[in-house]
Structures are given as C-alpha cells and as structure tokens.
C-alpha cells in the first residue's frame, strides 16, 4: 500500500430494524473498541452459480485464450458466507487459529490529517456475526498509529497472532499475542534497507540446523522479508518475534541491482511459506537475466543462511510480481500466478522442495476471461483453496471500461493430478435492503487495483475439515454498486470482508466433504432462493451476513 489522499467513502448497511445507515470513515461496527457487545445478524441466502471443471495443462502460453471445460462434481455443495467487517481494508490478509477465531486487518487512510493509513486489528469468534477491535494499545491508544503496509499473520500450530505495520526506513512495528489480542508484546521487525511490502512467516527449525529457539511458548523461527526497491532483504527471529537478525538475501543476484534493468524490474515478492520440515520458500517474478516476469522461488534448507533458486516456469510469465505459494501437510509446494498474455491464473506443483515444478495448469472457472491477485493455501496432500478477482469481460483490463469484477473462491481435492478438478463459487456481497451483488470492482484492474491495492488472501483453517477463509476488499461502492454504475475510482481502501466456506470440499482430515458448523444455518427460507443461472453446473448457495447493531444502532469506533 502507498500513501494517498483519503476521500469520503460511504457504504449502505441494513440494520435489523430496516433502517438504512450511511457509514463513513472509521470503523462501523457493532462492537466498541476493546469491549464486547452482541450484534443481531441477518443471514440472506441466495442461489449462486457453482461451477465444477478440469484445469487445463499448458506447456506454453497459448495465443488463443485457454478455457477450462466443465467436469462432474458429486461432493457437498460449495456454500460461501461473506461478512462485512465494518472497516475498510486495503490488501487484507487473514489468519485463523485452532479455535476458529479469525483475524483480519482494517487499514485505511483515516490517521490524523488523512495522509497516512492506520490499521485496526479485528477478530471474529462467531463466524463473522461480530468483529471486535483488538488493536495493540496502551491506555486505549493504538500503539500502531500509522502504517505504510500492514500484515496479519497467525501461526496455525500455536495460534500466535502477529500484526505488523511498516514505517519505511525504520522497519515495521510488530506486535504479537498468545491470547487472541488481549495482551501484546510490541517490538520492531527490522531488515536492512528501506522496508516495504513486508511478508512474515513462521517455521520449525530445519533438520541439521544448529539454531535454538529461545521462547518456550513458541518453539518456532519467525522470518521477515521486505522489498528495498533494489533488493530483497530478510531477517529472522529466534525469540518468537522480539528481536531479528539479518539473513542472506534469497535473491543475491537480483537483476534490479544492475543498471539499466534496475529501472525495469521490481524487487517485490509474494508471501513466503515454510513446509512441515522447516524449509523456507520465497516467491518472485523478476530474477531472470533476460528481463522481468518469470515466476521463481528461492528455497533455504538452513533457515536463511544459504539459498537456491529455481524457476517455476519460463514460458508463462507473471507481469505483476504477485506469485503465491502454499505447502500442504506432506511438504508438496504449490505456486500460483497470473499470466502476462491473457491475465489468467496458473498453478504449478513441486514434489521435491521447489527444485522442479510440474506443467502449469490454468485454474480459472469456465467463463472467466481475466483475473488478478491469485492466492492459494493448502491442507492435506492435493487439497488446495484458491481465490482471485475475475471478470467474464475480455476487455475488463482495458482503459475506460466499466466491466464488473467478481471474487472467485475455488477448491480442489486432487491438485497433485496433471489435470486437477476444481469446484468454484462467486462471493455475494450485501448491497442494500434484501439485495446482494457480486461486483466487488468495476473498471480496469491491471496490477495495482483500485482500493484493493496489491494483493488479497486465502487460508485453510486449522479446524475440523479445514474450511477455507478468504479476505476481500470491496471497492465498488456508492454509484459503482448500482447496475450500470460508475467505475471504482475512490483512492481509499475498499470495504473489508471475510469469506468462509460453510460447505464444500474438506481440506483437512479423512472426510472429503465439509459440513456446516453449528450456528451457521441459513435463516432465509428455501422458497426465497433465486433461480440458478443457466450456466450453473451444480447447485450452490451463499450465506450473506449483514452487519446489524443492538437496537438497530451502529457504533462508530475511530
């Protein structure tokens, strides 16, 4: 995220009383800061278009746009539930612990003066019915007053919550909590050079490493990497995030350090991951000698002391440095990126710790013509969740277009196959009294994308069945949200949403299907379901939560 002037922003929220409220600026929530407060919540169930399909392998990037074909799907219907957090959120990440508590940042340009953004850390313990401000604070004052970039990360094993906010050359303010945000330890995450576009991950000490962790509550390493414009700079922590020691760069021969190509190539990287053995992976799309754009992964087997680099693919380039990675429970590594010719998402798999990669498969549902910000996470072997904004309009990335974009979430239980099968669903978003929309952005979405900024996120929860959770920023607001409305041209962050898989493929455990959790039974009678679109392959439903305050009143927390 970059600093920009914050403009007025409004969103229509329907209360239980039917009152229409215009919420502007800070947090519009049913809970006050650091205080509990119940919120009545209406569930709106609508029919949607569930698509099941086979992903297409591609050895080269074809001149003709590839299209995936429909395939049978006999599993549980894919049901997604979206919840408005009540707070704007540019490039949100998301984290879930074993209790099912979900954490998401809410960062927008409402700091004093409005020139810089600030983050409010949010959590929900009731599947998005309510969101609570759990920002680190002293005497009620947020100890992270501003941010240039914000990241939320949750270790799935121990549940430690990390919230980071960059302060440019000074590094990143880092606060971590072992009690879901009730208390924090606050320090600084530092890596050499200007700190931008940070990424953080945790991992066990790899076999053979002499390193010893120093925090008995958290026997894992913490890794921190940043973009310094001319290089990738990384550090690690042995004490759970209290202090950091500089590591060697994952890409020591970064092309951006050599003129004249330094003006053409970025040192942005995707979010790094670790596998169960403690190997560390950092993705990029910049480091080949001929230019920029080939997806690549740097791998360290010794906690960042030494690195090896491998190209994921040299035929299907990524134009936006937005390569995503995930590891399953067996250590298979999955990479996802969008291509530079048709802007469609591709996935490749490594079964040998990033040394070699499979033939890429195009993973968009039939009918998707362009995409952006693909994200991926994995559960048990071959089980993955992916998400991305996409559009059925082939001209959606051209200037002056008003093409609508939707948010797709898809799952596969055979992602290790040469041509894996997926089932996908489009996220529904509340859009007024009794209505929903699927449009989360309107207009061109090349690289940086309006109030979405630089990326979105998806995670497999470490709870029973491994449901998928995604983080969404909706910047199609005001006139943009109406049929035939304008483009997404507000430079502020989009509204934050969480998207939960209620039913569908399981990503963890012996069962292949995920059943709905207690307390998430749709309240709308089945008779009110809207007709399915003609192109639907299977029946799917989406539960849309609308924020509603006690007594029909919204509490604004700033």
Whether the pLDDT of residue 181 is over 50: the answer is: yes
Burial class of residue 67 (count of CB atoms within 10 Å of its CB; 0-12, 13-18, 19+): middle
pLDDT tens, position by position, 406-423: 999 999 999 999 999 999
pLDDT tens, position by position, 248-304: 999 876 655 555 555 556 667 889 999 999 999 999 876 444 456 789 999 999 999
Does a structural domain hold residue 328?
A: yes
CATH number of the domain to which 219 belongs = 2.120.10.10
Nearest to residue 270, comparing CAs of 309, 297, 288, 248? 297
Whether the pLDDT of residue 546 is over 50: the answer is: no
Burial class of residue 424 (count of CB atoms within 10 Å of its CB; 0-12, 13-18, 19+): buried
Using pLDDT thresholds of 50, 70 and 90, give the confidence band for residue 394: confident
Whether the pLDDT of residue 112 is over 70: the answer is: yes
Q: What confidence score (pLDDT) does residue 115 get?
A: 74
Q: What confidence score (pLDDT) does residue 258 get?
A: 53
Q: What confidence score (pLDDT) does residue 286 get?
A: 65
CB atoms within 10 A of CB 75: 18
Q: What confidence score (pLDDT) does residue 489 get?
A: 65
Q: 121 vs 554, which has greater pLDDT?
A: 121
Neighbouring-strand partners of residue 124: 102
Nearest to residue 120, comparing CAs of 99, 143, 139, 95? 143
Mean pLDDT for all residues in the chain: 80
Using pLDDT thresholds of 50, 70 and 90, give the confidence band for residue 490: low
Among the residue ranges 16-25, 47-56, 196-205, the one predicted with the least confidence is: 16-25
Proportion of the chain above pLDDT 70, given as a percent: 77
Whether the pLDDT of residue 42 is over 50: the answer is: no
Among the residue ranges 30-34, 37-41, 240-244, the one predicted with the least confidence is: 30-34
Does a structural domain hold residue 18?
A: yes
Q: What confidence score (pLDDT) does residue 423 get?
A: 98
Nearest to residue 276, comparing CAs of 329, 208, 209, 326? 329
Q: What confidence score (pLDDT) does residue 256 get?
A: 53
Q: Are 86 and 131 in contact (CB under 8 A)?
A: yes
Using pLDDT thresholds of 50, 70 and 90, give the confidence band for residue 555: very low
Range of the domain at 432: 10-557
Buried b (16+ CB within 10 A) or exposed e, 178-191: bebbeebbbbebbb
Residue 491 CB contacts under 8 Å (≥ 6 apart), including other chains: 4, 5, 6, 7, 451
Q: What confidence score (pLDDT) does residue 537 get?
A: 31
pLDDT tens, position by position, 469-485: 999 988 887 777 776 77
**What is the tally of structural domains in the chain?**
1
Cα–Cα distance, 354 to 337 (Å, whole number): 16
Q: What confidence score (pLDDT) does residue 251 get?
A: 85
Cα–Cα distance, 403 to 439 (Å, whole number): 9
Q: 243 vs 6, which has greater pLDDT?
A: 243
Does a structural domain hold residue 2?
A: no
Q: 461 vs 259, which has greater pLDDT?
A: 461
Q: What confidence score (pLDDT) does residue 542 get?
A: 37
Whether the pLDDT of residue 236 is over 50: the answer is: yes
C-alpha pair distances (Å), 159 with each of 65, 185, 356 = 42, 15, 32
Task: Write down the H helix ranges in 310-420.
Answer: none
Q: Is 223 helix (H, G, I), strand (E, B) or coil?
A: strand
Q: What confidence score (pLDDT) does residue 532 get?
A: 26
Q: What confidence score (pLDDT) does residue 11 get?
A: 29
Q: 305 vs 140, which has greater pLDDT?
A: 305
Does a structural domain hold residue 5?
A: no
DSSP 8-state assignment for residue 176: E
pLDDT tens, position by position, 131-149: 999 999 998 888 898 888 8
Does a structural domain hold residue 1?
A: no
pTM value? 0.86
pLDDT tens, position by position, 322-336: 799 999 999 999 999
Whether the pLDDT of residue 71 is over 80: the answer is: yes
Proportion of the chain above pLDDT 90, given as a percent: 54
């Amino acid at each position: 995220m970059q600093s920009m002037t914050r403009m007025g922003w409004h969103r229509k929220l329907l209360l239980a009383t039917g009152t229409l409220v215009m919420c502007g600026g800070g947090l519009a929530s049913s809970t006050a800061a650091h205080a509990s407060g119940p919120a009545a919540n209406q569930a709106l169930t609508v029919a949607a278009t569930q698509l099941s399909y086979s992903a297409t392998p591609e050895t080269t990037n074809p001149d003709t746009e590839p299209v995936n074909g429909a395939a049978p799907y006999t599993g549980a219907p894919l049901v997604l539930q979206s919840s408005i957090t009540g707070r704007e959120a540019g490039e949100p990440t998301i984290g879930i612990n074993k209790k099912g508590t979900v954490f998401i940042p809410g960062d927008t340009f409402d700091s004093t003066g409005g020139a810089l953004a600030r983050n409010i850390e949010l959590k929900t313990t009731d599947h998005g019915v309510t969101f609570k401000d759990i920002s680190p604070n002293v005497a009620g004052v947020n100890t992270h007053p501003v941010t240039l970039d914000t990241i939320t990360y949750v270790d799935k094993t121990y549940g430690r919550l990390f919230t980071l906010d960059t302060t440019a050359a000074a590094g990143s303010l880092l606060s971590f909590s072992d009690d879901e945000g009730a208390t924090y330890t606050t320090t600084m995450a530092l890596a050499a050079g200007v700190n931008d576009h940070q990424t953080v991950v945790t991992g066990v000490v790899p076999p053979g490493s002499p390193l010893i962790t120093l925090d008995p509550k958290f026997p894992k390493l913490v890794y921190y990497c940043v973009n310094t414009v001319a290089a990738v700079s990384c550090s690690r922590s042995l004490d759970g995030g209290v202090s950091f020691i500089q590591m060697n760069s994952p890409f020591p021969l970064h092309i951006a350090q050599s003129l004249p190509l330094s003006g053409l190539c970025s040192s942005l990287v995707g979010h790094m991951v670790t596998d169960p053995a403690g190997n560390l992976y950092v993705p990029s799309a910049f480091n080949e000698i001929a230019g920029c754009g080939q997806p690549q992964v740097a791998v360290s087997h010794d906690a960042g002391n030494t690195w090896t680099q491998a190209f994921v693919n040299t035929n299907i380039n990524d134009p936006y440095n937005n390569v995503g990675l995930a590891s399953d429970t067996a250590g298979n590594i999955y990479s996802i990126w969008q291509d530079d010719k048709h802007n469609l998402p591709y996935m490749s798999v490594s079964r040998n710790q990033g040394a070699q990669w499979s033939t890429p498969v195009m993973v968009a549902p039939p009918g998707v013509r362009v995409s952006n910000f693909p994200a991926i996470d994995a559960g048990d072997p071959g089980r993955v969740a992916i998400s991305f904004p996409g559009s059925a309009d082939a001209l959606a990335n051209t200037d002056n277009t008003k093409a609508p974009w939707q948010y797709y979430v898809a799952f596969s239980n055979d992602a290790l196959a040469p041509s894996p099968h997926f089932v996908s669903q489009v996220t529904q978003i509340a859009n007024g009294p009794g209505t929903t929309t699927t449009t989360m952005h309107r207009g061109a979405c090349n690289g940086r994308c309006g109030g979405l900024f630089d990326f979105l996120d998806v995670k497999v929860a470490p709870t029973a069945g491994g449901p998928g959770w995604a983080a969404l920023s909706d910047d199609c607001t005001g006139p943009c949200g109406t049929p035939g409305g304008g483009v997404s041209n507000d430079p502020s962050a989009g509204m934050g949403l969480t998207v939960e898989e209620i039913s569908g493929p399981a990503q963890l455990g012996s069962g292949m299907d995920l059943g709905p959790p207690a307390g998430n039974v749709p309240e709308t009678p089945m008779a009110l379901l809207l007709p399915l679109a003609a192109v639907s392959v299977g029946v799917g439903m989406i539960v849309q939560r609308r924020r509603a305050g006690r007594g029909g009143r919204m509490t604004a927390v700033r």
